[in-house]
Structure 1
């Protein structure tokens, strides 16, 4: 533990803006750099290449998790070790099946066959594009180009849904384990904003890779545009000014209870939830839509913005809670509670997504405030506990679950790289004009 002084509340200016103390940033940076050494693993078992563990302790020790590792390798790349991105990609595709399916969790013991049957979350093409842009390693990326195509084709076909949209096989497949609409409504009935947003980015990434490798005939740009239009035409609610999931059972966007049997104020914001944030991160939202949604929901303390970052569910939702253990039971077993609660708590990846969305749409001051608050939250955690946790109580900043957590939390000290002129912040969207 690097900090000996008792945690103190950061200074607040006359506008209510919380300033980050530079010493706190330095302490968080040192802590993360030390943690990065602890989560590195040499090649072992079925893994032919080095890998990263999600925690430095006993939690999540079953294998290599897709979206956790994607984000961790971004942090390693910013520390001058982009080869971890290559090792991640090569390991994931080591276990790809002929159908194109890639296990979401890969294990050095059995390849992932005894873990979840979920397809790897849609971050692999983005990871490969960022790696190629950073290193120019066309040989490695060229060798996995066809596996990437098969992996993405699996996503675009198996999980295709009406209206040009897509749906998760199960809610927890998204990583937003007990996200409220997926919890309340039957499996497959909800078409959320997050999955098409990520697939849009995957298609953009594949188009970028194909161009760099000189692979002619790529139609990924067309596919990306088709997804962008589908999200804009079907998931944007003009009245409520937010991207919302489509409910196939009711044939409408699902934002509120709104069945006509209750007072209009009851349940009005019931389903204002974190998947709605991803079109902003992906750049799908037109500027005017983004601005209205950001002002009305993202920055509002009554919805997503808390002192500690971004809530996973609107504070104004009747379902909002900060329970350490979530609902419903996990994997269909009443004996296994959902430890990953996405019905209120702050998660660092949401802070990360929203931070980049704010920068994208011109909210630089608000992005800086969010970066500061994220550092202060993690400083508070390592001061009080000696480690980071997976998620945090949105009203108190209390760490909720998973001791000695690393994962995407190690990106905390990189947000400020995108605010200064250090050049340390790597491009997440190399296909966009800089």
Structure 2
């Protein structure tokens, strides 16, 4: 391990963690964390950012940040089960874009917290609300084949992910959403078991296994050997341009993008498939692996770019005319997800190298700017956008804990315990 880069990254993360902690204020009833400690994004909770931030605080001995997060989010739940994905001190979630449902991390967060603390009483209080929240996902975002879909690409957090950016809304079934929902269902089964609700536990477990089968049936492209988005209009997975108008290798990997990586993190792939995908794409420098981590899109895609701001989706909401760019740059959460997938599927040396590259790119950013940014140029390591960034980047210094000989402070897969 590159101990110098790790020490620099670790020291910076420890320095900024107190700066993103805030007492309850305004419409937020519980203490909360902000994604930056600068002038932007203050007073807001963003679902998937905050989920990952609370994991870092839990590892530092503050698991209460996890229940604060879940309680803050669920305090704005409506009778339908809907939970705003973004909430804030000024108006709660009422000013958010309508139908932007909280990304599927709340059950995972609650399960990990409960496993860490043994707080079954708290889990019992939030379980009915989590049931309604997850039912909203499974019913309102339902797609064919027993799968689910994002309504707009930004709702995934991968703001301008290429397949959902190019094709019309509701026509793309993305592997990331369904992988997250699988983890949510497994987490709900765990929480039901904590309450000795055998019927609910079995129901959620069966639904998770059914979803797993659908993911591996419809969202795996065996020709290319990768998970991919399913195009309902074409009736097939979308890796290549694939309409017969282009010859040779042009457009062959046009839509090979970061959502394909999430089923590996969720441990959905059988070993043979995982080995194939990891060797051919994840670790391949022509695709996802850059010297600075994991690209958000295959380098072999014609859409691959390193713009500081991503182009908005052609069918996107008019209120979102700029997006964070997920069409090429390296993002720390992708490094985190792939790191854990590599370890699970037996690529230990490669996981350690990815951790080293993560520390190096963070150390470069801190040295150059004095802070982390949210993403990095995949070919040069240059910090690209968002000053004084914290968010999920603060997970990076936990990576060594999961390597052989380390002592992880929390399990990301509570349901396996």
Post-superposition offset of 1:337:
3.7
Find the residue that maps to 2:324 and give its secondary structure.
coil
Q: Which residue does the alignment assign to 1:428?
A: 412
Alpha-carbon displacement from aligned partner over 1:235-267 (angstroms, at most 9, x marks no partner):
111111001111011111111111111103110
Matched, 1:361 2:345: yes
Q: Which residue does the alignment assign to 1:86?
A: 67
Post-superposition offset of 1:279:
0.7
Q: Which residue of the other structure, out of 317, 327, 330, is the alignment partner of 1:332?
A: 317
Q: Any stretches of 5+ residues in structure 2 without a counterpart?
A: none
Q: Which residue of the other structure, out of 94, 97, 108, is the alignment partner of 2:89?
A: 108
Alpha-carbon displacement from aligned partner over 1:379-415 (angstroms, at most 9, x marks no partner):
0000110000011110011111110000000001011
Q: Which residue does the alignment assign to 1:71?
A: 52
Q: Which residue does the alignment assign to 1:98?
A: 79
Question: 1:293-332 to 2 correspondence within 5 Å?
Answer: 293-328=277-312, 332=317
Post-superposition offset of 1:62:
5.2
Q: Which residue of the other structure, out of 244, 247, 254, is the alignment partner of 2:231?
A: 247
Find the residue that maps to 1:229 and give its secondary structure.
helix
Q: Is the 8 A contact 2:160 2:313 kept in 1?
A: no
Question: Once structures 1 and 2 are overlaid, which stretch shifts more, 79-88 or 55-64?
Answer: 55-64
Q: Which residue does the alignment assign to 1:47?
A: 28
Question: 1:84-233 to 2 correspondence within 5 Å?
Answer: 84-117=65-98, 118-218=100-200, 219-233=203-217
Find the residue that maps to 2:378 and give its secondary structure.
coil
Q: Which residue does the alignment assign to 2:13?
A: 32
Question: Once structures 1 and 2 are overlaid, which stretch shifts more, 262-271 or 171-180?
Answer: 262-271
Q: Is the 8 A contact 2:377 2:383 kept in 1?
A: yes
Partner Cα separation in structure 2 for residue 261 and residue 249 of structure 1? 17
Post-superposition offset of 1:58:
1.6
- Kindly report the root-mean-square deviation, in angstroms, between the aligned alpha carbons of the 2 structures: 1.3
Change (3 A) 1:424 1:284: closer
Alpha-carbon displacement from aligned partner over 1:158-208 (angstroms, at most 9, x marks no partner):
111001111001110000000000110001100111111000000000001
Q: Is the 8 A contact 1:329 1:336 kept in 2?
A: no
Q: Which residue does the alignment assign to 1:11?
A: none
Q: Is the 8 A contact 1:95 1:103 kept in 2?
A: yes
Q: Is the 8 A contact 1:339 1:401 kept in 2?
A: no
Post-superposition offset of 1:422:
4.2
Q: Is the 8 A contact 2:296 2:334 kept in 1?
A: yes
Alpha-carbon displacement from aligned partner over 1:265-319 (angstroms, at most 9, x marks no partner):
1100001100000110001111100010000000000000000000000000000
Find the residue that maps to 2:296 and give its secondary structure.
coil
Q: Which residue of the other structure, out of 58, 61, 66, is the alignment partner of 2:42?
A: 61
Q: Any stretches of 5+ residues in structure 1 without a counterpart?
A: 1-19
Post-superposition offset of 1:109:
1.4
Partner Cα separation in structure 2 for residue 272 and residue 59 of structure 1? 32
Post-superposition offset of 1:420:
4.6
What TM-score, normalized by structure 1, do the two folds share? 0.93
Structure 1 runs of 4+ aligned residues shifted over 6 Å read: none
Change (3 A) 1:292 1:83: same
Find the residue that maps to 1:431 and give its secondary structure.
helix
Matched, 1:388 2:372: yes
Find the residue that maps to 1:377 and give its secondary structure.
helix
Q: Which residue does the alignment assign to 2:390?
A: 406
